[in-house]
Amino acid sequence: MKQILLQMKRKVFDVLFPAICLNCQKEGAWVCGDCLSNIEVLEYHYCPFCKERVFEKGTCKEHKEKNLNGLFFATSYKNPLVKKLIKKLKYPPFLRELTLPLSSLIITHFILSENKIIFNNQRGSLFIPVPLFPSKKRWRGFNQSEEITKELSKFLKIPYQVNDLIKIKKTQSQIELSKEERERNIKNNFKIKNPLRIQGKRIFLVDDIFTSGATMEECARVLKEAGVKEVWGIAVAREGNKV
């Protein structure tokens, strides 16, 4: 019954407030195809920790000992439209429909970069979204990273799991913290519920924005301690990248 009421409420909302492109105000979608196609999507890979361009390996020599094996991100968070879309997804009015266009940016990046890791090694791979603390997920009504994960899984035919990696502490928002403060804030904040289901797997860890890397690196540490083979980060956008 609750689900039916939510669907009815959404239909009424759509009638009263039809979708209008957040960039050009054209009616029909929250971001129209023309505006989406104008977002620059990267075809190269960069080290997650120092932004150096990398080729076959996911990190530069200096950061090869990190738990996160590498990072794939579609575009820069400096792009005003990208920033607006992600904020409208994560904060009121929580436009869940933006999941699809944001996911399409990642898929375009995979295709442009000829991502051999994700296209040639699908067997034994698994998508896992960066989890939210339960109260945060209830407030938003969904986990934006989980929604993006579902779209990627559907397109790439790689399974996903949402209940093995969990967040066990309610933490301060990372936005206003320094790099060192972010690392302390997120330390020992994640737990694996069922290690047997992920042991030996190649994990693609999905989030909306990659900033300092503290969250993904901590998730990667916990995953590898549980027996995961590799952990590769995936994000819509990277903050502060030189693109």
pLDDT at residue number 242: 47
Kindly report the pTM of this predicted structure: 0.90
Q: What is the pLDDT of residue 1?
A: 59
Q: Do β-strands 202-210 and 230-238 pair in parallel, antiparallel, or remain unpaired?
A: parallel
Report residue 86's pLDDT band, with 50, 70 and 90 as the boundaries.
very high
3-state helix, strand, coil in the chain (%, to 5): 40, 20, 40
% pLDDT > 70, the chain: 89
Average pLDDT score, the chain: 90
The pLDDT tens digits for 104-149 are: 999 999 999 988 888 877 789 999 999 999 999 999 999 999 999 9
Among the residues of 72-129, which ranges form H helices?
80-90, 99-112, 116-120
pLDDT tens digits for range 173-229: 766 667 777 778 789 999 999 999 999 999 999 999 999 999 999 999 999 999 999
- pLDDT tens-digit series, residues 34-47: 999 999 999 999 99
pLDDT computed for residue 117 by the predictor: 87
Strand-pairing partners, residue 54, are: 45
Across the range 222-241, mean pLDDT stands at: 94
Cα separation of 36 and 139, whole Å? 28
> Could you give the CA distance from residue 149 to residue 168 in angstroms, rounded to a whole number?
21
Sign of CA pseudo-dihedral 36, 39, 44, 46? negative
C-alpha distances in Å from residue 90, one per residue of 81, 95, 120, 155: 14, 8, 32, 23
Overall CATH class of domain 42-238: alpha beta
Identity (one letter) of the amino acid at 153?
A: S
* Residue ranges per structural domain of the chain: 1-38, 42-238
Task: Give the count of beta carbons closer than 10 Å to the beta carbon of residue 83.
Answer: 15
